[in-house]
A = this chain, B = another copy of it.
Amino acid sequence: MTLLPGPIDPPTRLLMGPGPISAYPSVLTAMSAQLVGQYDPFMTGAMAETQELYRRIWATRNDATLLIDGTSRAGIEAAMISLVRPGDRVLVPVFGRFGHLLAEIAERAMAEVHTIEVPWGQVFTPAAIEEAIVRVRPHLLGLVQGDTSTTMLQPLDEIGAICDRHGVLFYSDATASLGGNPFEADAWGLDAATAGLQKCLGGPSGSAPITLSERAVEIIRSRKKIEAGIREPGDEDAPDFVRSNYFDLGMILDYWGPRRLNHHTEATSMLYGARECARVLLGEGRDAVIERHVLHGEAMLAGVRGLGLVVFGDVAHKMSNVVAVEIPEGVAGDAARQAMLEDFGIEIGTSFGPLHGRVWRIGTMGYNARKDAVLTTLAALEQVLRRFGAKVPAGGGVEAALDVYAGAR
């Protein structure tokens, strides 16, 4: 008999990259709870509780608030393919890699995609977005809130009113930002928003929270199709039905809704995990969690500057939960990251596209938005930078971070 690998036994890691990050312990505990049946009253009850918890996280009264069974980009694709018909115009302002992803998913959904771009490290003014909307006249605006590729946080608070003025659906991908930065789905006029668990929410990837306005639900309902095996009299296909079964939000809403029409089998353990992520966040308090991300993000920002590192991008528009630093001249970026991982068990992130090899990305998210995590990372980074030939002020990172903590307390 061929040898089998042993039980899973991950090394201890402090995940301080752009995500995934170490999960809250109670989330992992929740995920080890035993399964129940798909229509067990306990299961449908847990689904309803999870919906209500995420309504509070999104700051919405949207009935259509639920989870997509897949990673964050599953949520993006479900929103795009259900809201956008082939040939519809979609406008995506691109300020990093995940804007390109939104555009690409819209293109795959056979939309007519228009993009505007700013250099990586910047965000858009509302005026620039409105100008493009007037020019393109899109059906939907797809806008990333926080793009981890550049660490930038696009302000969304004025965009909903612009979309409303021009009759445009407003969708935002808040994967990297939700929980660590303000998000107000209703107050900001969002028609759809999606996220993932593996950033500030402190869980594993594999479940994508989504919320949809009534206007969005109307569009989805108008594109209905129900599979032959479970169709009932009166169920008719719309001619422009959604070109995906798995991501057809109409069917997913019927499964989560009172009709409980069979679609997929909800990923029970991921549901347990997503529910616990929300419970942890709301137990601490939504504003308190954002403030915690701001505090530890500021400490990390001061710390990397205290180590003499140059911060990338427009810091005034940085997400609270991640900072990008330029790799010092002469330092072998990937080897230094590897030393952080192998010698200290700490992961920091590399970058994509134009920033690959130029910057590292350091996160302070969810469970790891903590003083000990920040200080340990800075202490280790100081050692590694020095060993890789950078000139580093002894104690400069930790001292600067401690000053932030002293000032804030």
Are A108 and B243 closer than 8 Å at their CB atoms? yes
Are A70 and B72 closer than 8 Å at their CB atoms? no
In the complex, what residues of B have CB within 8 A of residue A386's CB? none
Other-chain contact of A71, B7, B69, B228 (Cβ < 8 Å):
B69
Contact residues of A between 1 and 51, Cβ < 8 Å to B? 1-2, 4-5, 7-13, 15, 17, 19-23, 26, 28-38, 40, 42, 46, 49
In the complex, what residues of B have CB within 8 A of residue A132's CB? none
In the complex, what residues of B have CB within 8 A of residue A4's CB? 53, 279, 282-283
In the complex, what residues of B have CB within 8 A of residue A347's CB? 36-37, 40
Are B34 and A105 closer than 8 Å at their CB atoms? no
Are A71 and B31 closer than 8 Å at their CB atoms? no
Are B204 and A246 closer than 8 Å at their CB atoms? no
Number of A interface residues in the complex (CB < 8 A): 96
A265/B20 contact (C-beta < 8 A), A241-B108, A245-B101 known: yes
Chain B nearest CB: distance from A268 CB in Å? 5
User: Is A201 located at the chain interface by the 8 A CB criterion?
Assistant: no
Are B227 and A100 closer than 8 Å at their CB atoms? yes
Tell me the dominant secondary structure on chain A's binding face. Answer: loop
User: Is A196 located at the chain interface by the 8 A CB criterion?
Assistant: yes
A71 to chain B: closest residue by CB = B264
**B-binding segment of A184-192, A269-277, A298-306, A317-325:** A269-277
In the complex, what residues of B have CB within 8 A of residue A264's CB? 70-74, 205
* 4 pairs of A and B residues whose beta carbons are closest in the complex: A206-B267, A97-B229, A100-B229, A32-B32
User: Which A residues fall within an 8 A CB radius of B?
Assistant: 1-2, 4-5, 7-13, 15, 17, 19-23, 26, 28-38, 40, 42, 46, 49, 53, 56, 69-74, 77, 81, 96-101, 103-105, 108-110, 149, 196, 198, 204-206, 225, 227-230, 241-248, 262-270, 272-273, 275-276, 279, 282-283, 285, 341, 347, 352-353
